[in-house]
Structure 1
């Protein structure tokens, strides 16, 4: 082993001397993001090689898209996407966070984001009362206008599913309402970019009285996962053939007065996570992970004190950090928005300070990432975690 290491250190250009760059890049493209980042530190040659071919290699969370409101020339309040990065001064992978390449629209509302693609509701310049649902890639500036779903039922929600490691095609899940009064799910309409068409599937979860929570879904293991008010996670695959129900171990608080989610599902390091504020102690977050995805067995990982986070973050030692104060902060100012896909790091927004915050679940470190851009909104806008995607959208049909 020592001889091999010495040979490598003497031969500073081992990679280029022994293997062509294209082969090395292809091997690196199969590795996790964390491993690729470590290889950048091996030598200046490796750093240069990885930097030059970054578009072919796996990428990591770079920041968050969310809608920013502004007045247009006619004095109307309109919204367009804006972006806050989490990687310091690193150059953004796209040229314009407002998605200006989407032409012909007077307002663009980002609704969902999944692995480099953004799902938007776009209101037309003319006629002004018509809108399109659009999926776009900010890096390649390609976009696809979705056709009419062709279903009479009201849509409770739309969720975007995409994973370039599994398929170059994306899917949009339209969750349909069967009961207007109670909002029960009747079925799912699924759009495929491969076929360019929608496919309707009746509710296959075996329960006709389920309600989904108004928060982002998780596209994981080729299935869309949705959190419900019945404290369960529903999952359906892209063809509507496999339906799954995953029960949770705790009851939870799903939202607050200002529509900030206090329960959250996400995926990180190949596992499904639930971060939860329980009914019996809303001053704490509990973090659970599904270690065995097929086994339905949750493992408790962390307990996080909200009051302690407030104290560490803002140093407000004069505050009476008791249960009632923690409850007040949760009810007014706090929203979970993401978990980092490669490490035990969660992100949340603190509205009273207008800051984006990260919390390291292993280290306990609390960091203010940035101040959020001003917006004219009384509720928490959707903060959409964004991972750059350099490959093309499957069968794009660009429309102006």
Structure 2
């Protein structure tokens, strides 16, 4: 295909040069033919008459679409998005080139995490070295944000980060932001801009963002209330499209579907997955405000459960009383069939003698501090290590990296970040 495109472009180049030598302006003829078929290309040609040579302009106009797509697919992110804004014709071509462009494919860039320091909470970012699992300190992405008080990461989904911070005008109110670190764009989500600064009333959020539809995102808001002496959960869905917010009718969950406040949400296949305190998985479709329940693997003496997504599948991590850690993969939603992918002991992961392995502390930091994450592209786990560290463990090779002092006194919550350049 590449050879054919190059031969065709070379033929066009020869035709134009032969026409100039023979006194025939074939470039204008080719440009006129292109004007009849595609108006956007002619707009680009006419808009650049003063600055571009006629021969170069008409040559670009005469290139076949396949070759233009191939050129766009090889551009780095910044030139690629500049070309998108040239005209409508190039914008339409860039949609196909986006999928081919290796520079724009989401790859892991680092970790977002929260930490405590002198009683206050802070959000931080650590860079991940390319080609390895090693993470280096540095919060340049966070420091590029405006000065926000008590900023904290709430969720991270497909390159967008959900943040909360104290309001500057009202000190006891919180503001909810969505932030794209790749483009450094920050926007407050209305009407969710102000909420009470109280953990009991402060709702739980899950961000639902599909990179294939960048103009739309959903925010799920879980609220807890008491009804006839029974604790219940309620969820609302706020859909944002082109800056406009549409609130969909909420839905009351069953009494046995209390959302686990300490576990992160997982967005996969257009659905938000949340773990419940009854050790079930709540799967919500934000488009039609419906939900279904997914059963967890049937295990006895189960002490710890966490969910996440890796390699396009829903993953589940379980720890039993015998200190055996299992990694399960849900390969069939309809039949709800879980397949065991890995099984090993915590002793193998931490490489610590049994007598010195504090299993209770490890489970507590995963369960209540959420110091755990799945790698979205590899069979790699991020596990807690002391108060302010993480252990990166490769399940396929049993290799490990120890990361200490990620932030301040105590680490809580970690999200693996993959950049998204479009918005």
Same fold by TM (over 0.5)? yes
Residue 102 of structure 1 corresponds to 146
Residue 288 of structure 1 corresponds to 328
Q: Distance in 2 between matches of 1:68 and 1:97?
A: 16
Q: Distance in 2 between matches of 1:176 and 1:240?
A: 19
Contact 2:178 2:188 in 1 (8 A): yes
Q: Deviations over 1:257-288 (max 9, x none)?
A: xxxxx42111111211000112x32x111111
Structure 2 gap segments, 5+ residues each: 11-63, 77-96
Q: Distance in 2 between matches of 1:131 and 1:310?
A: 38
Contact 1:231 1:252 in 2 (8 A): no
Residue 39 of structure 1 corresponds to none
1:358, CA displacement in angstroms? 1.7
Counting only pairs closer than 5 Å after superposition, residues 313-352 of structure 1 correspond to structure 2 as 319=353, 321=354, 325=357, 327-331=359-363, 337-351=372-386
Contact 1:81 1:108 in 2 (8 A): yes
Residue 373, structure 1, aligned to residue 406, structure 2: yes
Q: Which has the larger radius of gyration?
A: 2
1:251, CA displacement in angstroms? 5.3
Count matched residues.
Answer: 332
**Matching residue within 352, 355, 365 for 2:389:** 355
Q: Distance in 1 between matches of 2:230 and 2:392?
A: 36
1:155, CA displacement in angstroms? 4.9
**Matching residue within 415, 418, 422 for 1:384:** 415
**Matching residue within 210, 215, 220 for 1:173:** 220
Counting only pairs closer than 5 Å after superposition, residues 186-201 of structure 1 correspond to structure 2 as 187-194=234-241, 195-201=244-250
Q: Deviations over 1:40-73 (max 9, x none)?
A: xxxxxxxxx99xx666x211221111234557xx
Contact 1:289 1:301 in 2 (8 A): yes
Q: Distance in 2 between matches of 1:302 and 1:284?
A: 10
1:298, CA displacement in angstroms? 0.8
1:308, CA displacement in angstroms? 2.0
Residue 44 of structure 1 corresponds to none
1:210, CA displacement in angstroms? 1.8
**Matching residue within 341, 347, 351 for 1:301:** 341
Q: Distance in 2 between matches of 1:310 and 1:159?
A: 31
After superposition, the Cα gap between the structure-2 partners of 1:99 and 1:158, relative to the gap in structure 1 and judged at 3 Å, is farther
Counting only pairs closer than 5 Å after superposition, residues 94-173 of structure 1 correspond to structure 2 as 96-103=140-147, 105-149=148-192, 154-173=201-220
Q: Which moved more, 1:149-158 or 1:192-201?
A: 149-158
Contact 1:61 1:385 in 2 (8 A): yes
TM, length-normalised to structure 1? 0.71
After superposition, the Cα gap between the structure-2 partners of 1:240 and 1:363, relative to the gap in structure 1 and judged at 3 Å, is same
Contact 1:156 1:183 in 2 (8 A): no
1:192, CA displacement in angstroms? 1.3
Residue 184 of structure 1 corresponds to 232
Counting only pairs closer than 5 Å after superposition, residues 211-230 of structure 1 correspond to structure 2 as 211-213=258-260, 214-230=262-278
Contact 1:252 1:263 in 2 (8 A): no
Contact 1:60 1:341 in 2 (8 A): no
Q: Distance in 2 between matches of 1:95 and 1:249?
A: 38
Structure ranking higher in helix proportion = 2
Q: Which moved more, 1:245-254 or 1:58-67?
A: 245-254
1:227, CA displacement in angstroms? 0.6
After superposition, the Cα gap between the structure-2 partners of 1:367 and 1:307, relative to the gap in structure 1 and judged at 3 Å, is same
Contact 1:229 1:254 in 2 (8 A): no
Contact 2:107 2:418 in 1 (8 A): yes
After superposition, the Cα gap between the structure-2 partners of 1:162 and 1:142, relative to the gap in structure 1 and judged at 3 Å, is same
Contact 2:230 2:255 in 1 (8 A): no
Structure 1 gap segments, 5+ residues each: 30-48, 72-76, 256-261, 393-400
Residue 80, structure 1, aligned to residue 122, structure 2: yes
